[in-house]
Structure 1
Amino acid sequence: MAHHRRPASTTRAAVACTALTTALTASLVHAPPAAAAEDSRRAPGVCETSAQTPPKRQMRGEWIAGVHNIDWPSRQGMTAQEQRDELTGLYDQARAHGLNAVFVQIRPTADAFWPSPHEPWSRWLTGEQGGDPGYDPLEFAVEQAHARNLEFHGWFNPYRVALHDDPGRLAADHPARRNPDWVFEYGGRLYYDPGVPEARAFVIEAMMHAVDNYDLDGVHFDDYFYPYPVSGVPVPDQDTFAEHGGGFEDIADWRRRNVDLLVEGMSRAVHEAKPHVRFGVSPFGIWRNSGSDPEGSATRGFESYDRIYADSRRWVRQGWLDYVNPQVYWEIGLDVADYAELVGWWERVTAGTGTHLYIGQAAYKVGNEGAWSDPGELSAHLDLNRDHPGVDGDVFFSATSLRTNAAEAMEIVVEEHYGHPALMPLDEDLGGAAPAPPVAEGAARADGNVLIPVGPGKDASGLPAPASYAVYAFEGDLDPREDPCLLEDPRSIAATVRADAYGRAAVTVPDSGERTYYVTALDRFHRESAPSAPVRPPRAES
Structure 2
Amino acid sequence: WMIKEAHDRGLEFHAWLNPYRATMNLETSDLSPEHDFFKHRNWMLKYGTKWYYDPGLPEVKNHLLAIIKEVVTNYDIDAIHFDDYFYPYKEPKLEFPDKASYDKYKKPGQSRDDWRRQNVNDLILALSQTIKAQKPWVQFGVSPFGVWRNQSKDPKGSPTQAGQTNYDDLYADVLLWMKNKWIDYLIPQLYWSMEHRLASHRKLADWWSNNSYGVPVYIGNGPYKIREDSDEAWKNPAELNTQVNYARTLPQIQGNAFFSAKSIYIKNQDIAQRLKNEVYDRPTLPPSFEPKTPTIIDIPVVFDVKTTTEKTQINLEKPLDPAIRYAMVQGGNDLNTLHEAIIHTAWVGGSRVRYLEVPSLNTEYLAIRWIDHYGRIVQTQVFQTPKSTRP
Please classify the TM superposition score into its range, dividing by the shorter chain length.
Answer: 0.7 to 0.9
Residue equivalent to 1:495: 343
Residue equivalent to 1:523: 372
Shift of 1:436: 1.6
| Residue of 245, 249, 274 corresponding to 2:110 | 249
Q: Is the counterpart of residue 436 in structure 1 residue 299 in structure 2?
A: yes
Amino acid at match of 1:368: E
Distance across 2 between alignment mates of 1:413 and 1:403:
12
Amino acid at match of 1:154: A
Corresponding residue SS for 1:290: coil
Q: What is the RMSD of the two structures over their aligned residues, measured on CA atoms?
A: 2.9
| Residue of 222, 231, 240 corresponding to 1:362 | 222
Corresponding residue SS for 1:494: coil
Residue equivalent to 1:83: none
CA contact (8 A) 1:444 1:537 kept: no
1:107-151 Cα deviation digits (max 9, x unpaired): xxxxxxxxxxxxxxxxxxxxxxxxxxxxxxxxx222222222221
CA contact (8 A) 1:435 1:466 kept: no
CA contact (8 A) 2:329 2:346 kept: no
TM-score by length of 1: 0.64
Residue equivalent to 1:30: none
CA contact (8 A) 2:11 2:286 kept: no
Corresponding residue SS for 1:530: strand
Residue equivalent to 1:454: 314
Q: Is the counterpart of residue 506 in structure 1 residue 357 in structure 2?
A: yes
Corresponding residue SS for 1:155: strand
CA contact (8 A) 1:436 1:460 kept: no
Q: Specify whether residues 433 and 418 from structure 1 end up closer, same or farther in structure 2 by C-alpha distance, changes over 3 A only.
A: farther
Amino acid at match of 1:529: V
Residue equivalent to 2:195: 333
Q: Specify whether residues 441 and 343 from structure 1 end up closer, same or farther in structure 2 by C-alpha distance, changes over 3 A only.
A: farther
Shift of 1:182: 1.2
Residue equivalent to 1:232: 93
Q: Specify whether residues 524 and 248 from structure 1 end up closer, same or farther in structure 2 by C-alpha distance, changes over 3 A only.
A: farther
Distance across 2 between alignment mates of 1:349 and 1:440:
49
Q: Is the counterpart of residue 180 in structure 1 residue 29 in structure 2?
A: no
Residue equivalent to 1:470: 328
Corresponding residue SS for 1:428: coil
CA contact (8 A) 2:305 2:315 kept: no
Corresponding residue SS for 1:206: helix
Report the more deviating stretch, 400-409 or 212-221: 400-409
Q: Specify whether residues 459 and 443 from structure 1 end up closer, same or farther in structure 2 by C-alpha distance, changes over 3 A only.
A: closer
CA contact (8 A) 1:329 1:361 kept: yes
Amino acid at match of 2:49: G
1:303-356 Cα deviation digits (max 9, x unpaired): 12101111111111111101111111111111221112222221222243xx22
> Unpaired segments of 5 or more residues in structure 2?
none
Shift of 1:379: 1.6
Corresponding residue SS for 1:224: coil
Distance across 1 between alignment mates of 2:278 and 2:314:
31
Amino acid at match of 2:195: G
Report the more deviating stretch, 290-299 or 528-537: 528-537
Amino acid at match of 1:337: A
Q: Specify whether residues 178 and 479 from structure 1 end up closer, same or farther in structure 2 by C-alpha distance, changes over 3 A only.
A: closer
Shift of 1:445: 8.6
Matches within 5 A, 1:57-76: none
CA contact (8 A) 2:329 2:366 kept: yes
| Structure with more contact order per residue of length (Cα contacts < 8 Å, sep ≥ 6) | 1
Q: Is the counterpart of residue 350 in structure 1 residue 212 in structure 2?
A: yes
Corresponding residue SS for 2:373: coil
> Unpaired segments of 5 or more residues in structure 1?
1-139, 481-490
**Number of residue pairs the alignment of both structures matches:** 381
1:468-503 Cα deviation digits (max 9, x unpaired): 1224578866599xxxxxxxxxx7463151323444
Amino acid at match of 1:505: L
| Residue of 39, 54, 74 corresponding to 1:193 | 54
Distance across 2 between alignment mates of 1:509 and 1:289:
57
Amino acid at match of 2:246: L
Shift of 1:437: 4.9
Corresponding residue SS for 1:358: strand
Q: Specify whether residues 348 and 535 from structure 1 end up closer, same or farther in structure 2 by C-alpha distance, changes over 3 A only.
A: farther
Shift of 1:459: 7.5
Amino acid at match of 2:17: F
Corresponding residue SS for 2:16: strand
Matches within 5 A, 1:49-88: none
Q: Specify whether residues 264 and 226 from structure 1 end up closer, same or farther in structure 2 by C-alpha distance, changes over 3 A only.
A: same
Distance across 2 between alignment mates of 1:296 and 1:472:
47
Q: Is the counterpart of residue 395 in structure 1 residue 246 in structure 2?
A: no
Q: Is the counterpart of residue 215 in structure 1 residue 76 in structure 2?
A: yes
Q: Specify whether residues 399 and 338 from structure 1 end up closer, same or farther in structure 2 by C-alpha distance, changes over 3 A only.
A: same
Distance across 1 between alignment mates of 2:337 and 2:302:
16
Q: Is the counterpart of residue 427 in structure 1 residue 289 in structure 2?
A: yes
Residue equivalent to 2:155: 294
CA contact (8 A) 1:441 1:535 kept: no
Amino acid at match of 1:410: A
Distance across 1 between alignment mates of 2:369 and 2:138:
22
Amino acid at match of 2:54: D
Q: Specify whether residues 429 and 323 from structure 1 end up closer, same or farther in structure 2 by C-alpha distance, changes over 3 A only.
A: same
Report the more deviating stretch, 342-351 or 418-427: 342-351
Q: Specify whether residues 286 and 270 from structure 1 end up closer, same or farther in structure 2 by C-alpha distance, changes over 3 A only.
A: same
Shift of 1:365: 1.0
Q: Specify whether residues 439 and 304 from structure 1 end up closer, same or farther in structure 2 by C-alpha distance, changes over 3 A only.
A: same
